[in-house]
Chain A
Amino acid sequence: MNFKNFREYLAWLYYQYLLITGIYVLEPWEKSIFNSILFSVIAMVIYTSYVFVPIHVRLALEFFSGIFSSQPESTMALMN
């Protein structure tokens, strides 16, 4: 398939999305409802991951590095 421009390619992708989810058979207002629900769910997922994922990753890294690096310090302290 040759797409004349990017917009046509995006339109084809939207068509595939309509076919795969089965939205193609619904009336336009039902399509809008489904699209808005899906869009809001995806937006919430992106927002949550943007806000919480870096903090959780940093805490996890600190936890694991705390386990591996705390051991040598305590034995040295005991010997001294």
Chain B
Amino acid sequence: MKNGPGTGVASRQHRQESFEQAPMYVAVMTYLGFGIVTLFGYFRDFLRAVGIEKCHLAQEREEQKDFVPLYQDFENFYTRNLYMRVRDNWNRPVCSLPGPVFDLMERVSDDYNWTFRLTGKTIHNAINMGSYNYLGFAENNTDFLKTVADKLCQYGVGVCSTRQEIGNLGIHEELEQLVASFLRVESSMIFGMGFATNSMNIPALVGKGCLILSDEVNHTSLILGARLSGATIRVFKHNNMHSLEKMLSEAVCSGQPRTHRPWKKILIMVEGIYSMEGSVVRLPEIIALKKKYKAYLYLDEAHSIGAVGQTGRGVTELFNVNPADVDVMMGTFTKSFGAAGGYIAGKKELVDYLRSHSHSAVYASAMSPPVTEQIIRAMKCIMGNNGSTEGIRRIRQLAENTRYFRARLKEMGFIIYGNDDSPVVPILLYMPGKVVAFAREMLERKIGVVVVGFPATPISEARARFCLSAAHTRAMLNQVLHHLNEVGDGLCLKFSRLKYSSCPDLHEETDSELGS
């Protein structure tokens, strides 16, 4: 049943990835909006400096004004003058589990978002389009959570030690073997925090004299790990294989910058699904390049493990690639498994080396037992133990939700980025005023969305990021789409100029494409 590696090529693999550009007037208006708010920012800073207006930020005491400044004013310009004005759209307090619907606590601000107070009311059953709950494992059904409760009674909650000292529990070893068999690799190692998995393990793998080729839009954890390692970092254009090949050949030919000695190691860092763009990595081409130029590949599958692939095994399964070709497979349990933590998997020598040389393994506290059991039960569910089809049902439901949602959005006329298979859907909003108005309007209609603006995205491409879940029903998606339609018309957000014909089977419940 399982195809051999590399045989399932061609048509289905090169799915459509679109990054449509908005009309020119949109870019002009975006910059105009930022320019006007910046001018007002300078005006308010002037008022604060002169003393007409009270300053709410941290400031030095009068006696310390002659010292070297502690708080750099200019760097916080953007935070002070734009983010503070609109920060009621972020850090909203959630008071239920982050399932497909959730409860929010209502809060108001009396002084334009410098301080907040809770009114005491709760917004019940808001539809959750922001949580990374891809397979719906963030649930509180007592039947499903029975093993987790048992382990909680057996082991308690805290481990009170690191893995290396006395915190290595039997349940950790069980999970590592399960992860290795799930990913079809030799061995794996788990860590308590996903961000720390990247930032603490890359310094253990590369050091000075090595070269890191990292994608343009890589996550901060990868960038931080690369900088901490001390290796030379070169950035290639996002998903652009020509750029990567040029850099690889130049690196192999010229070697290190001044001495021209060959690089000790060349490490290509990519992600499975890029969470801000929704695009999928071009894995077969990167593996071909890697083999040609003898480089190593570090694949961060934070968003793609469990969410893509026929049986949820990530981009290696999506592209039908041998997992042994990827040197270091990394992923997190925060997204599809409803827990917390990360893993690194690969050859046995690699994982054994990391057990003693990684900062996270040696110094960080071990993963908590109920969390470990949650990952074990989620993974067993996906793998279909005891012949249950619950895992496959969830994976299929996610794929169907993804396809439906993306197709309906394109039909409505929004600009969305990314691959048709990725459950992360960024809708481009561009203008700062519209970003804020969008988030507020959707909250009024009881839909919780995540909007992202400047530091995390390029300045002219602010977006709203929707994360689909297998727990969303068709009715919920239709409700969200209906409200999106209204808000899109009310705020004039439908910038797409491509004509998209709707498929006739879009509005039915069949999933005929999976059989082909």
**A-side interface residues toward B, CB under 8 Å?**
1, 12, 16, 18-27, 30, 34
Contacts and interface: CB of A to CB of B under 8 A. Distances in A.
B247 interface: no
B433 A18 contact: yes
Given A25-B37, A26-B40, A20 B437 contact: no
Interface stretch (B185-193, B342-350, B485-493): B485-493
- Looking at B34, B85, B86, the one whose CB has the most chain A CB atoms below 10 A away is B85
A48 B44 CA distance: 32
A25 B32 contact: no
Given A25-B85, A25-B436, A26-B85, A20 B33 contact: yes
B454 to A, nearest CB: 13
Nearest to B438: A19
Interface in B27-59: 29, 32-34, 36-37, 40
B431 A22 contact: yes
**Chain B contact residues: helix, strand, loop or mixed:** helix
Given A26-B40, A34-B36, A19 B431 contact: yes
B100 interface: no
B434 interface: yes
Contacts of B33: 20-22
Interface in B449-505: 489-492
A45 B169 CA distance: 77
B86 A25 contact: yes
A19 B489 CA distance: 14
A24 B437 contact: yes
A27 B33 CA distance: 15
A26 B33 CA distance: 11
Given A24-B436, A30-B40, 19 more contacts: A16-B492, A19-B434, A20-B32, A20-B431, A20-B433, A21-B36, A22-B36, A22-B431, A22-B432, A22-B433, A25-B37, A25-B82, A25-B432, A25-B433, A25-B436, A26-B40, A26-B85, A34-B36, A34-B40
A26 B85 CA distance: 7
Contacts of B491: 19
A74 B72 CA distance: 77
Contacts of B82: 25
A30 B37 CA distance: 10
Contacts of A25: 37, 82, 85-86, 432-433, 436
A16 B33 CA distance: 12
16 contacts: A1-B489, A19-B433, A20-B431, A20-B433, A21-B33, A22-B32, A22-B36, A22-B432, A23-B433, A24-B436, A24-B437, A25-B85, A25-B86, A26-B37, A26-B85, A27-B85
Nearest to A24: B433
A34 B277 CA distance: 35
Nearest to A17: B433
Nearest to A30: B40
Contacts of B29: 20
A19 B85 contact: no
Contacts of A23: 36, 433
